[in-house]
């Protein structure tokens, strides 16, 4: 008979997984609204404003529309793969969040139970996140192939090539973070950045900002957002790998895309912006704040930082044009990778001689 503590732990994990899953499922609703509002403001329009106050109910209207749409499977499509692909795109996006910490621990006062604000603190967290996050590509490739349409196939192909090219730069950026923080665990990485914003990896001068830029550019390409959204380039490919998808299956792809955006925002915050650490720690001024308040405060900071990043992604989307395919490859192989190799060297030397 396993002891009570273990059972509670397991039950808690299930509850946490459930909560995180629900949040992620619901997240695209506000995000689509936000994206359109941001687009509206940037293009001097209003954005959605007719369904509900300020258009807040627009995502629900969209959801109803998508649910009621006919689900079309093209002739001669590979039916099994065609149905599987949206799920393949979505599941890794969810699975990544197992390793994401929103905070450290929360000691419940009274019973002194230490509640962990993450599902699992793996000692290979960084690798896990990158590996699982990278699997989402299969949804795109298989979706593109199974549709039996040339536009979809080209979208899938482009996606595969793009992903392989930028995965390298992204992993280099992760290596940089690991070198700066001296750990592969996401919780440890955040902890190493505590104490104030000058300790954040972003301000690990002079390499921090370079790593951040490499990470940011590579991740934009990884999640297929403008200016690297060639797999769904409307101008040349219909709408790329999901040209043939409709209704609920299409919305799964959209869901995966939004979650991927959140994932990358979260990773940027964890890697470079100190995760849940507030920019200025009261402890540096000798002010004592109860640990519970600090952890709630930290979650607030975490969410705020992530929201800022999501905004930046949207802002970029409605500002920049799309790259040409050869430019995309040039940026990946001829700029990002050499720059990251040099930066690895500099970071290594800094670690050896400065610490």
Instruction: Give the burial class of 225: count Cβ atoms within 10 A of its Cβ; 0-12 exposed, 13-18 middle, 19 or more buried.
Output: buried
| Residues within window 247-276 making contact with other proteins, judged by CB under 8 A | none
Question: Token match 């797999």: residue?
Answer: 231
Say if CB 96 and CB 186 are below 8 A apart: no
The distance of closest approach from Cβ of residue 241 to other proteins in the complex, given in angstroms and rounded to an integer, is 12
Shortest distance, position 296 Cβ to other proteins, whole Å: 30
Site for other proteins contains 167 (CB under 8 A): yes
CB 291 within 8 A of CB 107: yes
Instruction: Give 116's DSSP letter.
Output: E
Is 42 a binding residue for other proteins by CB under 8 A? The answer is yes
The binding track of 121-150 with respect to other proteins, each residue x by CB under 8 A or -, is -xxx--xx-xxx-xx-xx--xx--x-----
Q: Smallest distance, Å, CB 263 to other proteins?
A: 15
CA-based radius of gyration for the chain? 21
* 171 lies in the site for other proteins, by CB under 8 A: yes
Q: How many C-beta atoms surround the C-beta of residue 111 within 10 A?
A: 6
Distances (CA, A) of 248 to 133, 152, 354: 22, 18, 54
Q: Which of the residues 316 through 345 are near other proteins (CB under 8 A)?
A: 316, 318-320
d(CA 87, CA 176): 32
**Residue 102 or residue 217: which is nearer to other proteins going by CB?**
217
Question: DSSP string covering 99-149, please?
Answer: G--S-SEEEETTTTEEEESSS---TTHHHHHHHHHHHTHHHHHHHHHHTT-
Task: Give the nearest distance from C-beta 277 to other proteins in angstroms.
Answer: 24
Q: Total number of residues binding other proteins (CB under 8 A)?
A: 41
Closer residue to other proteins (CB): 47 or 298: 47
DSSP structure string for 241-275: GGTT--HHHHHHHHHHHHHHHHHHHHHHHHHHS-T
Q: Please say which residue, 137 or 310, places its beta carbon nearer to other proteins.
A: 137
Beta carbon nearer to other proteins, 11 or 312: 312
If the CB atoms of residues 216 and 302 are measured against other proteins, the closer one turns out to be: 216
Which residues would be at the binding site for other proteins (CB under 8 A)? 40-46, 49-50, 78, 81, 122-124, 127-128, 130-132, 134-135, 137-138, 141-142, 145, 153, 156-157, 160-161, 163-164, 167, 171, 184, 315-316, 318-320
């Amino acid at each position: 008979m396993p002891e009570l503590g273990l059972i509670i732990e397991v039950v808690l994990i299930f509850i946490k997984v459930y909560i995180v899953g629900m949040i992620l499922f619901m997240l695209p609703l506000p995000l689509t609204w936000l994206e359109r509002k941001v687009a509206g403001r940037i293009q001097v329009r209003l954005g959605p404003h007719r369904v509900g106050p300020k258009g807040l109910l627009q995502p629900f209207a969209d959801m109803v529309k998508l649910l009621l749409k006919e689900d079309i499977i093209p002739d001669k499509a590979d039916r099994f793969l065609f149905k599987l692909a949206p799920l393949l795109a979505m599941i890794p996006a969810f699975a990544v969040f197992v390793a994401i910490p929103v905070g450290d621990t929360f000691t419940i006062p009274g019973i002194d139970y230490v509640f962990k604000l993450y599902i699992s603190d793996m000692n290979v967290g960084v690798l896990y996140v990158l590996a699982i996050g990278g699997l989402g590509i299969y949804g795109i490739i298989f979706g593109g192939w199974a549709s039996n349409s040339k536009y979809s196939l080209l979208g899938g192909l482009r996606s595969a090539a793009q992903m392989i090219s930028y995965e390298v730069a992204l992993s280099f950026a992760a290596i940089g973070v690991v070198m700066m923080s001296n750990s592969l665990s996401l919780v440890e990485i955040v902890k190493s950045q505590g104490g104030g914003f000058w300790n954040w990896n972003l301000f690990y001068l002079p390499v921090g900002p370079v790593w951040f830029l490499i990470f940011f550019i590579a991740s934009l390409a990884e999640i297929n957002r403008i200016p690297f959204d060639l797999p769904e380039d409307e101008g040349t490919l219909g709408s790329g790998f999901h040209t043939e998808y409709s209704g609920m299956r299409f919305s799964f792809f959209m869901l995966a895309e939004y979650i991927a955006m959140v994932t990358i925002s979260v990773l940027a915050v964890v890697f470079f912006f100190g995760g849940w650490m507030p920019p200025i720690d009261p402890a540096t001024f000798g002010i004592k704040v109860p640990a519970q308040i600090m952890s709630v405060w930290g979650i607030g900071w975490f969410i705020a930082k992530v929201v800022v990043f999501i905004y930046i992604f949207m802002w970029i989307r409605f500002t920049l044009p799309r790259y040409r395919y050869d430019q995309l490859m040039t940026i990946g192989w001829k700029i990002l990778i050499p720059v990251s190799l040099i930066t690895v060297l500099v970071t290594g030397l800094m670690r050896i001689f400065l610490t």
